[in-house]
Structure 1
Amino acid sequence: MAFQLKKELPLIGIILLPFLYLAYVWPDLPQRVPMHYNIKGEIDRYGDKSELLIIPFIMPVLIYIVFLVVPKIDPKNKLQQMGNKFQTIKVLLTTFMSVLALYIIYSTKNASLSNPNYILLLIGVLYVILGNYFKTIKANYFIGIKTPWTLENETVWKDTHKLGGKLWFAGGLVIILGCLIFNQKTNFIFFMIITAIITIIPIVYSYQRFKQISKV
């Protein structure tokens, strides 16, 4: 997967958006700005505004760099077999991180997280999108439900990701619905429970499916 600047330019533009927005609001920011909020959306830590520079770097930039590097260190070139799906997932996750960085900077500028449910709603949307792609992901060491049993057996990988895709898709929809119904504190707990469920069930299933196939 050679780097093609012309192909990557639109995504690089999306990555730059949080930097451009931060530069735009920088003169209006006080020296000390809100840096952390609790689950109720209340400020519980302030810091120097220079700390905001870290946000675009550790979110869209870092994710983008990871997606550039992993194909080069993939020991069996499994990611090459994913073709455009790998690029699509890279675009989705990097864009998500840019949007999240923009929202955090915006909230800091206004000294209010407004509604923490918005962040969880965005994550719910991400779960729905990823769940839709799970069944198309080829076995690899970097993306997907990577357990000793899915990596050991291709059938286990396919079956686990088929189930995982349905769970993440449904879980994302449930999280989005929860964001529209519950208050911030209740919804955070609800979000953590749903996330735990859609994460643990595929892992347990992969072990059971591997044992089932091993007995044949």
Structure 2
Amino acid sequence: MRISNATWVAAILTGASVLVAGWAWFMLPAGAGVPVNYLGLDGLRHHGVSREALWLIPVISGFVATAMTFAPGFGARGQVERAAEVFDITLIAVAGLLLVVQFTLVGRALDPEFNVMRPVAIATGVLLLAIGNYLGKARRNGFIGVKTPWTLADAGVWDKTHRYTGRGMVIAGLALVASGFLLHAAAALGLAIGACSALPMLFGIARSRSLHRALPRA
């Protein structure tokens, strides 16, 4: 188990998510809740609202915080310490993003016209900025980071790959924050979130391969 200041911050953010869910549970009018749209076992698509869905994000946030707190106790503590700053900022950023998602769900429950995707896009951009700013400080480990056969085989490739990927995440984060303010269509924002989240990592993986191939051979 690894309890740090980041653990307490994540716990506070998770607690805030619980409070938001509890407030909404009692304040929403009868019959109101989070809009749900799912494919049932009967093969038909169902639409409706659910108050129980208000508790989904607090449960996820609590699970993530608990898992990341206890993971170092299962043989990964030494690995985590080699990337402690990245680990801690990831824990806080994920808990913060989930809290924003919780607020957006409540906003949607209160107003069916509320645009959920805009605040989520901005919060995801902030997450990318935060993690990208620290990613280059992570030393080679098997727990967190861009773990490819090439980065794990050479410390130099690891360091260069993570500095490169971190810069990409910062650029993607800025682009995503701007998209959250400029775009309105949910589909466009969803595409922006997916692209900005995935591309820095994909380019980082490709970069690690090219760096490893450029190493002098014995």
- Per-residue CA distance 1:91-113 (angstroms, 9 max, x = gap): 23223322322332332233343
> Contact conserved, 2:6 with 2:89, CA < 8 A, in 1?
no
> Contact conserved, 1:34 with 1:45, CA < 8 A, in 2?
no
In the alignment, the residues of structure 2 paired with residue 215 and residue 199 of structure 1 have an alpha-carbon distance, to the nearest angstrom, of 27
* Aligned-residue offset at 1:84: 5.2
Match of residue 109 from structure 2: 108
Amino acid at match of 1:13: I
Match of residue 12 from structure 2: 13
Moved more, 6-15 or 99-108: 6-15
Q: Does 1:156 align with 2:142?
A: no
Pairing partner for 1:199 from 196, 201, 206: 201
* Aligned-residue offset at 1:10: 4.7
Q: Residue 78 of structure 1: SS of its match in structure 2? A: helix
Amino acid at match of 1:155: G
In the alignment, the residues of structure 1 paired with residue 208 and residue 80 of structure 2 have an alpha-carbon distance, to the nearest angstrom, of 21
Q: TM-score, normalised by structure 1?
A: 0.81
Q: Residue 77 of structure 1: SS of its match in structure 2? A: helix
Once the two structures are superposed, the pairs formed by residues 124-203 of structure 1 within 5 Å of their partners are 124-184=125-185, 185-203=187-205
In the alignment, the residues of structure 2 paired with residue 103 and residue 11 of structure 1 have an alpha-carbon distance, to the nearest angstrom, of 19
Identity %: 18
| Residue ranges of structure 2 left out of the alignment (5+ in a row) | 38-45
Q: Residue 33 of structure 2: SS of its match in structure 1? A: strand
| Residue ranges of structure 1 left out of the alignment (5+ in a row) | 38-43
Task: List 4+ stretches of structure 1 deviating above 4 A.
Answer: 6-10
In the alignment, the residues of structure 2 paired with residue 84 and residue 193 of structure 1 have an alpha-carbon distance, to the nearest angstrom, of 25
Change in 2 beyond 3 A, CA 1:124/1:28: same
Moved more, 127-136 or 147-156: 147-156
* Aligned-residue offset at 1:209: 1.0
Aligned residues: 208
Q: TM-score, normalised by structure 2?
A: 0.81
* Aligned-residue offset at 1:76: 7.0
